[in-house]
Amino acid sequence: MLSEEDNRRITRVGRGTPMGTLMRRYWQPAALSEEVAEPDGAPVRVRLLGEDLIAFRDSDGKVGLVSAFCPHRRAPMFFGRNEECGLRCVYHGWKFDKDGTCVDMPSLRQSSGQAPPQSSGQAPPPDSLFKTKVTIEAYPTWEGGGMIWAYLGPPEHRPAPPDYELVRAPATHRWVSKTYEECNWLQALEGGVDSSHVTFLHNMNIRDRAWLHAVAPEIEFERSAYGHLGVAIHKRPEAQYVRSFHYVMPAQTIRARSTAPHGGAAEVPHMTGHIWVPIDDGTCWIYNWLYSYVPEIPLAPAFALARETEQGRGPDDLAPGYRLKRNRANDYGLDRQVQKQRTFSGIPGINTQDYAIQEGMGAIVDRSREHLAVSDRVIILTRALLLEAVTAAERGEPVRGADPATYARLRAADDVIPPGTDWHEALAAKMVAKF
């Protein structure tokens, strides 16, 4: 378990907090590209790491991410006019480009001392020099993988842009979505790295009671330059099904599915994963992605939609704002008869089941009251890595996983291999990115 102090250190993400300082050392997804799809389109509200921001795509197609409030009188920039490569506040007309530079102050144009121009042939009054002294806070952005990424940290520590295989995969091979979750980002992430709950919470057929007596998969994991590498080993006398997974700091998982467990029919080969992004201390975004890693096999939209629906976040499962229709207000669609007769939880949708548990823990779990077991070793390691990185960030040192070179060639893999085979050797060739 964690002390109350360490729990605070790795859950709070506002400016000046230990974890907030660490989180700002990484590129973070700020929005889906589809949210700011149109040049000169409507500005979009973004809340990220406790900061209120506005995203907009300018006339040249580049995305800006600026403070939600005009530096003049703190008017809301959401109501601004996105035009001619800048966002103009509608209160007094001050206009800022994507880098935060003030490019126009019509309310402060200096008088020339002459009568107002009577024709277009006369020059307008000169701009006030004051605009060269005023900026709006702006953060660097980078677009890739269907997402707008932002860097909110110190310029001297800014790493190169994200270089996951996901962002290099063609748009025809990729699917990205997001969902809103009402709990602290860490308890959501911990659900993602915890494999031991899958047999129970996500069991969709309790009528086959064999699952209750099955031996849990062996979980092995090891530290890496980006976070940790793990593998689940499902052993049977005739073969073993192995599936590797990566935790990439600060809050991403990468998994694979190319072979059905125990030698069943192969699926569309694809990678899948999540990125947990803190909105503030009590809410987070989950960016869900999958992509076909075989150049000859694009990711069919029907396949992606089927996976989304299975997870409980298909088009019919979402309300406006990327929020689940099955939520705390309606007990996540819990059906007690289904729970008695068909599934372990009685809740439809795999991710919906996760949300029910994670949000049900409260806004921020008090980890000082936990009783961790041997099966929680991967949780313990994840927390240790975060605490180590928090300390490094406080000292201004390099932090694990920020450098794209540490994760650029990552790929997870799964396979059915003979008993006694070393999984490192069996999966080695498959665990190198090709895109």
**What confidence tens digit (pLDDT) does each residue in 392-430 have?**
999 999 999 999 999 999 999 999 999 889 999 999 999
Is the pLDDT at 294 greater than 80, yes or no?
Answer: yes
Q: Kindly state whether residue 150 falls inside one of the protein's structural domains.
A: no
Between CA 222 and CA 201 the distance in angstroms is 26
pLDDT of amino acid 262: 55
Residues 6 or more apart whose Cβ sits within 8 Å of residue 388: 400
Sign of CA dihedral 330, 336, 341, 345: positive
- 36-67: pLDDT as tens digits: 999 999 999 999 999 999 999 999 999 999 99
Query: Are 235 and 379 within one domain?
Result: yes
- What would the mean pLDDT of 114-135 be, rounded to a whole number? 64
Tell me the DSSP string of 232-264. Answer: EEEE-SS-EEEEEEEEETTTEEEEEESS-GGG-
- pLDDT higher than 50, residue 115: no
What pLDDT does residue 352 have? 96
Q: Is residue 351 part of a domain?
A: yes
CATH number reported for the structural domain that contains residue 98 in this entry: 2.102.10.10
Q: Are 88 and 205 members of one domain?
A: no
Confidence of residue 116 (pLDDT cuts 50, 70, 90): very low
**Looking at the domain assignment, is residue 241 inside a domain?**
yes
**Within a domain: 66:** yes
Examine the domain organization and report whether 94 and 221 are in the same domain: no
Helices (H), 230-363: 301-311, 336-341, 350-360
Question: pLDDT tens digits for 230-265?
Answer: 998 888 888 888 999 999 999 999 998 877 655 555
9 within some domain:
no
Residue ranges making up the domain that contains 40: 34-142
Do 190 and 82 share a domain, yes or no?
Answer: no
**Residue 134 above 50 pLDDT?**
yes
Asked if residue 79 is part of any domain, the answer here is yes
Does pLDDT of 109 surpass 80?
A: no
| Out of 111-120, 227-236, 289-298, least confident range | 111-120
- Domains of the chain: total: 2
Mean pLDDT, all residues of the chain: 91
Confidence of residue 114 (pLDDT cuts 50, 70, 90): very low
Question: Do 330 and 406 belong together in one domain?
Answer: yes
**Average pLDDT in the 272-290 region?**
97
pTM to 2 decimals?
0.92
Q: Are residues 98 and 182 in the same domain?
A: no
Taking a C-beta distance cutoff of 8 angstroms, is the pair 364, 374 a contact?
no
Element (H, E) at 230: strand 227-235
Q: Note whether 229 and 123 are same-domain residues.
A: no
| Same-domain pairing of 314 and 345 | yes
Average pLDDT over residues 196-210: 80
CATH of the domain at 294: 3.90.380.10
> Is 23 part of any domain?
no
Q: What is the pLDDT of residues 350-389, one digit of tens each?
A: 999 999 999 999 999 999 999 999 889 999 999 999 999 9
Task: Tell me, yes or no, whether 319 and 226 share the same domain.
Answer: yes
The per-residue pLDDT for 407 is: 98
Average pLDDT value for residue range 22-36: 98
Name the strands in the sheet holding 138-139, side by side, starting at the edge strand that comes first in the sequence: 44-48, 51-57, 63-67, 138-139
pLDDT tens digit sequence for 318-330: 999 999 999 999 9
Other C-beta atoms closer than 10 Å to the C-beta of 134 total 17
Statement to judge: residues 338 and 218 lie in one domain: yes
Is position 323 within any domain?
A: yes
Residue 10 and residue 18 in contact, taking contact as beta carbons nearer than 8 Å: yes
148, 65 in Cβ contact below 8 A? yes
Q: Which of 130-139, 209-218, 221-230, 252-261 has the lowest mean pLDDT?
A: 209-218
Structural domain ending residue among the three candidates 142, 174, 195: 142
Structure tokens at 173: 């091979």
Taking each helix axis from N to C end, the angle separating 185-193 and 377-394, rounded to the nearest 10 degrees, works out to 130
Q: Render pLDDT for 79-97 as a digit per residue (tens, 0 to 9).
A: 999 999 999 999 999 999 9
Q: Is the pLDDT of residue 113 over 70?
A: no
Domain check: are 425 and 358 in the same one?
yes
Q: Does 282 score more than 80 pLDDT?
A: yes
Q: What is the mean pLDDT of residues 302-328?
A: 94
Per-residue pLDDT at 131 = 78
Last residue of a domain, one of 91, 108, 142: 142
Q: Are residues 164 and 117 in the same domain?
A: no
